[in-house]
Structure 1
């Protein structure tokens, strides 16, 4: 008969306050490090004492990682560990890792950006923006890369599906939330305004 694992001691009352806090920090860091996806606050709260601020623990961990090549970042109210932007070229060179968006052409990226700025958005909505039908194959490629998913049904006739971006979209582009989407001036500085001229930068939240 398998031996039951004892419940995790989250309060750590036998430790002095400083060591207790350090143990909680270590647990938070370990959970985030071990996860392949962003870890929600509720999951992190399970490994520390009741009423303990996960946010303060993460702030202390972030301070300790300030001079390291990796960081803990917030994405859609969850946390993940990632290498810092300035080391991206070194990581790609050493591991021969390609950009996650290299399979998308410029037009497909434009469609993705339009969904990001105007979600929830239907294929008819995309047609209004680009002046032509957007193929289901294109939508399928964006879904296959987990950059978009289906959203709520549109209230229009026939209740067509809408499309919205995903948490993975935020991870790929290094954003904490959709509020971090660049404004018009930033798009121009990045050289992206040429294909975005027909897409007013107006967010629906």
Structure 2
């Protein structure tokens, strides 16, 4: 029995999710390659704000990394699960924004010179864990060190922005800026190489 294109489209993400369940970051990188543009498109439609949409993308893939065991194949495909997460995280973020209309005005200004902890480097740990040929690995490698550190802490350890700020000693606004700009740079890198799937 041979698989048609739709079967392959469903099976490959399942294999990547299995890798995530085994703690293999390459699986997460492949899922990010495959779904990040669609996740971003959903979040942007709901939130109508690029910054919030980028942060929702981070929320989704951090949850995929931490909660892969929650996936239930009986309820649908990996694609459907990831896109449901995108919708749910975007709605959560929208509700928080409406509950805290003054939130953006309380953020610290971006400070690229803010001190941060260097004793342990989760950015390098994440980079090493991604396969050499992975586009996400190359996209991650182009980021500035402080962006790598913030993105890695959010994805590798599943920390919230506040927790990343506490871990690194950076202001909260700086952390959010580094994560947002890092994800935007990675997304642009992937789009330039034909991995923009937002319209699929």
- TM-score band (shorter)? under 0.3
Of Structure 1 and Structure 2, the greater helix share is in: 2
Q: Could you state the TM-score of these two structures normalised by the residue count of structure 1?
A: 0.27
Which protein is bigger by CA-based radius of gyration? 1
Which of structures 1 and 2 has the larger relative contact order (alpha carbons within 8 angstroms, sep 6+)?
A: 2
Of Structure 1 and Structure 2, the greater strand share is in: 1
